[in-house]
Amino acid sequence: MFNWAEEWHMSFAGCGFRSMYYVGALSCILERVPQLVHGASTFGGASSGCLVAAALAVGIPIEKLCFMILITAKEARKHNLGVFHPTFSLLRVVQRSLLEMLPEDAHLRATGRLCVSLTQLNDGRNVLVSEFASREDKTGVCFAGSNRYMDGALSNNMPLFEHRNTITLSPFSGESDICPTEGTFNFFEAHYGNVSIQVNTGNVHRVCTAFLPPRLEVSPCPEVLGLKLVEFKSD
């Protein structure tokens, strides 16, 4: 049973364009258990997951986050190879969109509330960053815009995982607290950067569309998608 009296965190796994799943999950949570988001002390994320964590840390509405993800996916779909096309820069598109949405004091709001996972380029070790000097610095850190770091998903795709009362979210079916569920029992699962991913056809599709976003479609509500929610009750 979830203990509302204790401090808790939320951590979002990196997942490319599958981060749209978080929009549906958070919309559901904000409608049914808004205190779960509003009362969290820290939001952690790696890769695209830190985009979601950053939005929550500084107070960007879910609608704006959804719009930014859709715009980025639209830009990627203009190229046959999506994010792998040599003329497409995911970093540039996302940073431009994020800067347009972030308030001027975003770095002040995020310091101490946002935890970004990065991977050191020289030795591959994980680094967690939670202090930001400026709004521009914040966007650079979120997307490893430094020659000293690369994608945090390579070393720790679920920051704050080891902390007590961390609610983990992932768009891949597995053992995360909030994630899709499959209709059949899975005997095999893989662990990548503290994220559990079951070996099944559903996850194969999810991994593929994380890099090559499909055409815009109307998605069903989160519970129809098979959201697995941990039980949250007040004592």
Catalytically active residues are 47, 151
The amino acid at 158: M
Place of tokens 């401090």: 7
Paired strand residues for 82? none
How many Cβ atoms from other residues are within 10 Å of residue 130's Cβ? 16
Nearest CA-CA partner of 49 in 80, 19, 91, 6: 19
Taking each helix axis from N to C end, the angle separating 48-58 and 20-32, rounded to the nearest 10 degrees, works out to 30
How many Cβ atoms from other residues are within 10 Å of residue 234's Cβ? 9
How many Cβ atoms from other residues are within 10 Å of residue 31's Cβ? 10
Nearest CA-CA partner of 137 in 105, 167, 170, 172: 105
How many Cβ atoms from other residues are within 10 Å of residue 217's Cβ? 5
